[in-house]
Structure 1
Amino acid sequence: MSTHEAPDRPSRTRLYLLLAPLLASSAANAKGAKKPAAVPLRGEQAEIESVLRELEYLRERVQALQGKYGRATGNAKIRFNYPACIEQLR
């Protein structure tokens, strides 16, 4: 070990001891801080709008099926609650 390295170690230790409380307090503050709400990206917003358009299409399609098959008689092979489906799609 050279004589140049020996004085450096105690100063490095002192530096760590001086910085430790500062680092600990900043870490404690970071835990309590609230993160800002995420802003949707343009791509995400476009995809959500696309899904909403598809849901609107499905609602219109189910309404058309209700008009076509909604008055089925009691002996129909398929029973479907069109009004409940339309309400859920709204």
Structure 2
Amino acid sequence: MQYFAQNIAGKKRKPGDVAARHWDAIAQTSNYRPADVRKRVQDLVDGLVARRVAVTDAVAALPGCAVGYVEEAAALIEDNALRIEGRLRDPPPG
């Protein structure tokens, strides 16, 4: 199972485990507004999804690349981004 390289809100987490409250905790410890952090994460996911095909094609065209591996990696990255997006608006607990 894939985990993020760094701790998120004090714990090692998988992409599907990161909820809105975790982004809010990151924002607070970084002196940012939670709404701004969530918006930035949404913008990053949107950009990644919008450019996936073009970037995958460009990387796959590089000499020595194995197209299947490039496409598999791109799919995994997009899936993780969409998991994060799906939990971006979770209501706070309680």
- TM-score, normalised with respect to structure 1: 0.36
Please state which structure has a larger fraction of its residues in helix: 1
Question: Relative CO higher for 1 or 2, CA cutoff 8 Å, sep ≥ 6?
Answer: 2
